[in-house]
Amino acid sequence: MKAIIGRFGLLALACVVALSATAGCERKPAAGGANPTTGDIPVGFYGSLTGESASFGISAREGTELAVDEVNAAGGVLGGRKLKLIVEDDQSKTDEASSAVTKMITQDKVVTVLGEVSSSRSLAAAPVCQRFSVPMITPASTNDKITKVGDYIFRTCYTDSQQGRVLAEFAYNDLKARRAAILKDVGKDYSVGLTASIEENFKRLGGEVLPVVSYGSTDQDFRAILTQIREQKPDAIFATGYYPEAAIIVRQARELGITVPILGGDGWVGDSLQGGREALNNCFLSNHFATDDPDPTLKALGQKFVAAYKARFGKEPDAMAALSYDSVYVLADALNRAGSTDGTKLRDAIAATSIQGVTGKLAINETRNVDKPTVIQEVVYKDGAMKFVYKTTIKPN
Amino acid sequence: MSFRAKAAAAVITLILLVGLNYVFEGLGDFQIDPYYARIVSLIGISITLAVSLNLINGQTGQFSLGHAGFMAVGGYTATFFTVAWGASIAQAMGSTLMSPLGGSVVMVLSLAVGALSAAVAGLLVGIPSLRLKGDYLAIVTLGFGEIIRVVILNIPAVGGATGFTDAVPITNFFWIFAMAILTIVIVRNIRASTYGRALAAIREDEIAAEAMGVDTTRHKVLAFVVSSSLAGIAGALSGQLFATPLNPANLGFVKSIEVIIMIVLGGIGSITGAVLGAVVITALPEVLRDVDKQYPGLRMVVYALLLILMMIFRPQGLLGRRELSVDWLWKLTRRAPAATPGGGGNVDEQ
Amino acid sequence: MDTFLQQLINGLSLGAIYALIALGYTMVYGVLRLINFAHGDVYMLGAFAGFFIANAMHLDANPSILGAIVVTMGSMATCAAIGVLIERFAYRPVRHNSRLTSLITAIGVSLLLEYGGQVVFGAAPRFFPQMIRSETYSVGGVQITNQSLLIIVVSVVMMFGLEFIVHRTKIGTAMRATSHNLAVAKLMGINTDFIIAFTFALGSALAATAGVMVALSIPKIDPLMGLMTGLKAFVAAVLGGIGNIPGAMIGGMLIGLMETWIGATSYSTYRDAVAFGVLILILIVRPAGILGTASVEKV
């Protein structure tokens, strides 16, 4: 056996030599697909329709579908052409996200890719869009790195750093908190990014941040970490995870006698946050839109969207649905301005976007992100129902 | 085969791989549809994973549920190696990571790093658990995979929950299939050696094997270490494939189960069976994309049912320990269909 | 001191959850020598069964103890039936094959329940109705909820009940005989098929109880909830000595305390790894577990 492996080693060496001529990665640019000037325009959507974060993917798809149907019902784009939504499931896996996007681009010839919610999957698939020169608009991935992948990658929501700043400022200025504790879900990039930004901004404002406590995505019992936090007597607690855990964290915190305000990001927006019940009082979250926004335009848009969504899907839209809904309008507007489905022209049109969306003013800046104000809402649980009450709007700096 | 014949076969394979590499990677004028190229690449990595797992689960009869854990160890160390030192190594040779020479040398080094680190992990896990009998190995390897996942999540330098997105895409068709072939050759040769016979003896009856003088722990650990280091190679390839960053969420229990489904489907103990299983299980989701969209989640239910039904009606897998060969297929077509199950098996170790 | 006592209580409440699940694990293993991977998923089904029964009874609006008992009973009956079905159609056909075959079958059943659950119930988490009004008792700065107390009490009662069934009843004797040697037990006139089915029914009913109890205290339920909790409960059973009923209790409590202790340090993020680290340690130091006795393999 040894001899055979030895000989094989020799051959392996030969491989390396032979490969000297081949292993390069300098590819030819992808052949530009034909851009038919008539017929439906294929638009790709990829999301986690199954797997661990299925609830977000499903919300995002519903928001996207709602907007696509609205656009088509209103006469389509480019003088009457309809958007044809091609939906692919990535099973909440990064590898699948790349495969799905490759498939949509090379097989379905989509002109733009919409998605993903999760930053890790957006980051996996973004290089594919960049390589094939197909614009990608992520409606809800907040990781700062995504739009840095290349000039075809856009984002229509705020970034981790912006949301963290807003939450820190609200806690410091409005709630007068000086000592804050942060709970981080180490298994969710969203939570990790938000935590870093809150920590940095709260310290910048002059507040004190207790050592960050982390938990794993499958944890159900937060009493141990909350007891430890209770002993350090913070004025405010940030729970940066998603809503299912947030509901449990809030409950267990109140059970342990922690009465200070608990704050969360847009990941808190979801129907089952209700599971937190009475414990949800004195909790605040940052959101993309509020149906009771004092700004009349935003209020009208928000209420119209919520009504349409409820009528179609029979439930309250969450943040992912609202953001995905807006991303379609960004695309429709850009298509009209580009006057063509060509990738480069479309890219330039998206880069010049400035429209009013449900989630605020969507003006793409030179880093291919948007600067839009963030709404802070208070959670009110009364008589067996949860409500988000508008508190304030914090403008981007 | 004589050495001369083997060398000739190797050279022919090499030329073939180099040629296909041009087509698959789009280095020349013609490129295969990138979507199909990607699926083929993923299949190649799956083959390495399945064939290597078969050494421990099929040949030795031990049950590892942590193959993804070893893949993660190898993948992360190899990718980290390339990210940290790849560019400077290539530069020292007067080349770059994206040029043929630099890319190849760094790839070979990173594969070696991946294999070595996964082998060490295999040794650490194998020694305590392989002394024990029964199902403990399954649980310990599962637990090990979980520990690895939690540890990776807590290392920001490799991306934590976001995944290792800093990876340099130096993996290509050539390396994926060179490694798949290497894995097949290694596992085949071990199986045909005295080690392989000892492993088979352990599988059939551990006590009897021990009574016959087989150092069971040593052999089990050896098989385990080889198997994990090959999984590490698969990890190194996968982590550096274009747009496929390693992510702890993909390298958990479910991934290990997926590899097990591959070998259970193909045949527990059969190399060609494992290859077949890897091809089917990797390609099936792509083939079934449209069905999947209509019935989201149903595919995993079908896999689960398949697993149970296979265990009830054909616990040895489709091929069992039989190898698929031209010879065997030829005999199959000549004989009456009734003779299929036991018919003219090209028994292993031939 | 407050904090220490509070953490002790936290640890015991968490440990009681693991103990409840571990009891079922250990019993099935004790009789069949099969790691019933699907046990954690039966626990999940128990929680879902409870969820649907409780909602059908509109318990959320008017919580009552009687209602909670009805829900638990209903869930136990549902899961006992599921347990028997799993045994009859998945495990029995492979019982005489190698242990590897049984193990893969068990994994298959586990996957089937998890992903089947995702298809049937949807992947989004749901929140269990409040069957018993939540109350927090406060003693000298230490808080405990009535639900946590209930879990601890139920797990202790279940442990003694199980001990009684296994050691003091006729069917328990038959179970032990089956565990000792299936073939000989059969020769002695024991209907081993029935005994094994009964074991599964009992184990699944235990899992259902755990599902409902845990859902009362931590109301988030989803189809994958049984995976990690089930595995940790298995580790608890191994730690206590697999096949040993008081051992499962001790193991569960120890894992709960250890996780709480780690959670209280700056290594809280490694909490999920604790159980498995412990497992590897036990296997090196004392493979039979705390209360288990090492068995000698005969040829």
Structure tokens at A353: 């976007």
Which B positions 245-274 lie with beta carbon below 8 A of chain C? Answer: 253, 257, 260, 264
pLDDT level of residue A49 (50, 70, 90 thresholds): confident
With beta carbons less than 8 A apart as the criterion, state whether B52 and B230 touch: yes
CB contact under 8 A, A119 and B162: yes
User: pLDDT value at position A226?
Assistant: 93
Degrees to nearest 5, angle at CA B114 with B110 and B115? 120
User: pLDDT value at position A297?
Assistant: 85
Q: CA–CA separation, B328 vs C212, rounded Å?
A: 55
pTM of this structure: 0.90
User: Helices marked H in chain C — which ranges?
Assistant: 2-32, 39-56, 65-86, 99-121, 146-168, 170-180, 182-187, 192-217, 225-240, 245-263, 271-285
Number of helices (H), then strands (E), in chain C: 11, 4
User: pLDDT value at position B50?
Assistant: 96
Q: Which residue's structure tokens are 């300098």?
A: A26
User: pLDDT value at position A263?
Assistant: 96
CB contact under 8 A, C108 and B305: yes
Summarize pLDDT for B170-209 with one digit per residue, the tens: 999 999 999 999 999 999 999 999 999 999 999 888 889 9
With beta carbons less than 8 A apart as the criterion, state whether C288 and A233 touch: no
Q: Is B312 on the interface with C (CB under 8 A)?
A: yes
User: Helices marked H in A143-242 — which ranges?
Assistant: 160-169, 189-204, 223-231
User: pLDDT value at position B84?
Assistant: 95
Closest CA in chain A for residue C225 = A218
pLDDT at C94 exceeding the cut of 80: yes
Give me the long-range contacts of A336-340 (CB less than 8 A, separation at least 24): A336/A77, A336/A78, A339/A78, A340/A35, A340/A37, A340/A78
Residues 6+ apart with CB under 8 A from B226: B52, B55, B119, B186, B190
pLDDT at A48 exceeding the cut of 70: yes
Instruction: Write the DSSP symbol of residue A147.
Output: G
Which residues of chain B lie closer than 8 angstroms to C119, CB-CB? 295-298, 301
Which residues of chain A lie closer than 8 angstroms to C228, CB-CB? 218
User: pLDDT value at position C172?
Assistant: 92
Summarize pLDDT for A15-38 with one digit per residue, the tens: 444 444 444 444 444 444 556 778
Exposure string for A346-360, b = 16+ CB within 10 A, e = fewer = bbebbbebeeebbbb
Q: CA–CA separation, B217 vs C170, rounded Å?
A: 42
Q: How far is CA B316 from CA B261, C24, C111, C117, in A?
A: 12, 30, 20, 28
User: pLDDT value at position B133?
Assistant: 67
The shortest C-alpha distance from A397 to chain B (Å) reads 27
- Chain A positions contacting chain C at CB under 8 Å are 50-52, 54-55, 58, 186, 211, 213-216, 218-221, 223-225, 227-228, 230-231, 244-245, 247-248, 251, 255-257, 272, 274-275, 277, 384
Per DSSP, the three-state class of C27 is helix
Instruction: Write the DSSP symbol of residue B57.
Output: I
Summarize pLDDT for C196-226 with one digit per residue, the tens: 999 999 999 999 999 999 998 888 998 989 9
Per DSSP, the three-state class of A138 is strand
Which residues of chain A lie closer than 8 angstroms to C145, CB-CB? 255
Using 50 as the pLDDT threshold, list the residues of chain B that sit under it: 337-350
Of C226, C281, C230, which is closest to residue C252 (Cα–Cα)?
A: C230
User: pLDDT value at position A225?
Assistant: 92
How many other CB atoms sit within 10 Å of the CB of residue C164?
12
> What average pLDDT does chain A have?
87
Number of helices (H), then strands (E), in chain B: 15, 0
Q: CA–CA separation, B235 vs B246, rounded Å?
A: 8
Which residues of chain C lie closer than 8 angstroms to B154, CB-CB? 269-270
User: pLDDT value at position C298?
Assistant: 55
The answer to whether the complex's ipTM is over 0.85 is: yes
Q: CA–CA separation, A106 vs A118, rounded Å?
A: 23
Interface probe with C: pick from A228, A240, A250, most Cβ of C within 10 Å: A228
CB contact under 8 A, B315 and C98: yes
User: pLDDT value at position C224?
Assistant: 87
Q: What is the mean pLDDT of residues A55-73?
A: 93
With beta carbons less than 8 A apart as the criterion, state whether B18 and A19 touch: yes
User: pLDDT value at position A17?
Assistant: 46
Number of helices (H), then strands (E), in chain A: 11, 15
Structure tokens at A351: 């880069």
Question: Nearest Cβ partner of C283 from B132, B154, B260?
Answer: B132
